[in-house]
Copies of this chain bind each other. A is one copy, B any other.
Amino acid sequence: MIRFDISGGADFFSAGGPDYAAAAAAHRLLATGTGAGSEFTGWTYLPRRMAESGELKHVLAAARTIRSQGKVLLVVGAGGSYLGARAAIELLRTPSHNLFPGETEVYFLGNSLSPDSINELCFLLGDKDFSVNVISKSGDTLESALGFRIAKSLLERKYGRNTAKRRIYVTTDANEGMLRDYALAEGYEMFPMPDGVGGRFSVLSAVGLLPMAAAGIDVDKVVSSADGALRDLSLQSPENPAWQYAAARQNLYRQGRTIEILACYEPSFRFMAEWWKQLFGGSEGKNGIGIFPAGAEYNADLHSMGQYIQDGPRTLMETVVRFATPRTSCKVPFEMGDPDKLNYLAGREFAEIQEIAANAVREAHLAGGVPNLSVTVDCRDEKGFAELVCFFEVSCAISAYMTGVNPFDQPGAEAYRKNMFRRLKAE
């Protein structure tokens, strides 16, 4: 179960504390589909739908085929069609996933226009057998459309046009769009991007699950855990950790905490923080308001941003993601002569020392005037991942509704695209 600890906010809340009545009202908008953008709340029952519709089975079958087709899956997608899968693979496997022998390597293309990145990827592919999963709602995102041109030309050069077709997996809108038409015309295997699920809420659809399954993640467990978590998070009560998180951060925002740092002590969490930044930044940053989302990797970043957090402007709040049970064991070695004066730690578990460090950081930051919230799940595994995803999605919708914005649109993200296409056509 997800546990949220609000106690490190206590000294910083306004009189009366977090506004649970407002959280309740916001949650009601979400649950009854009466809030702005309610046509995009399909993610609230997505796991169940994935299981019941047979889509999950389809994903599992395709992942098996992909794994049998070669050593590499090339995922072509941008934004919400990229971050979720990358975050999951880094968290549940490792950021060095592609260095591990025996697993299907996963590379990402189509989120950058850098020629150096593309050339590097071609080099890393080498002569390995590979398949391609292109992910785009409409097909008109420039970065991923160009990425797919590259991927397809690599495939066709290697396998010829007809065989290449059997190595292309398309995740796109079920009913319309350029990529859908393209895939139908070519006969590619298709996975629907479910109706009513925006890009940044799509990780538990085929968008995220197919690359995850190809990388060896147990997506059956992810989906069933997510279904359970969403049920828990539907609780209409201040005991609901999503209410607590949403109400706490909004209270702190009103007290001038304009920046939230999401921190974790596991280096493998880096892209989960990126996913979280997209989720909250895209949902809340509009109409001139919104908490600025920033990520941090502890302990590493305590040596970089630690000074700023401790002594800079008191505009920060901090939310720490913790895993209760360590996945592996590692003990401090004994050192003859005790040259570094650390033999008093010899034989102790790193996980235990990490826990002590986390408590020390909390104590220091609280004393320095930084509210410290935390969310804890049991383990860095499929269940923990699913719980974190659902917790952040539900909290995000509630939190955004509490500020009066539509959590599910992104009108501002269009501005550069319009300029870009105008310039590309003109220059």
Contacts and interface: CB of A to CB of B under 8 A. Distances in A.
Interface of A: 78-80, 82-83, 94, 96, 98-100, 111-120, 123-124, 139-143, 145-146, 148-150, 152-153, 178-179, 181-182, 185-186, 199-200, 258-259, 265-268, 274, 277-278, 281-282, 284-290, 292-294, 297, 299-316, 326-330, 332-333, 335, 339-342, 344-345, 349-351, 353-354, 356-357, 359-361, 363-365, 367-368, 380, 410-413, 415-420, 422-425, 427
Interface residue SS majority, chain A = helix
Contact of A412 (B120, B265, B310, B329): B310
A149 B332 contact: yes
Contacts of A185: 339
Nearest to A183: B339
24 contacts: A78-B300, A78-B303, A79-B300, A79-B303, A94-B116, A116-B328, A117-B267, A119-B330, A146-B353, A149-B333, A149-B335, A150-B330, A182-B339, A259-B292, A282-B304, A285-B307, A289-B313, A292-B316, A306-B416, A307-B410, A307-B413, A356-B427, A359-B419, A364-B415
Counted per complex, copies of this chain come to 2
A71 to B, nearest CB: 13
A120 B96 contact: yes
The 10 closest A-B pairs by CB, nearest first: A79-B303, A285-B308, A310-B412, A278-B304, A285-B312, A311-B412, A360-B419, A115-B330, A360-B420, A364-B415
A332 B411 CA distance: 29
Contact of A415 (B292, B367, B419, B422): B367
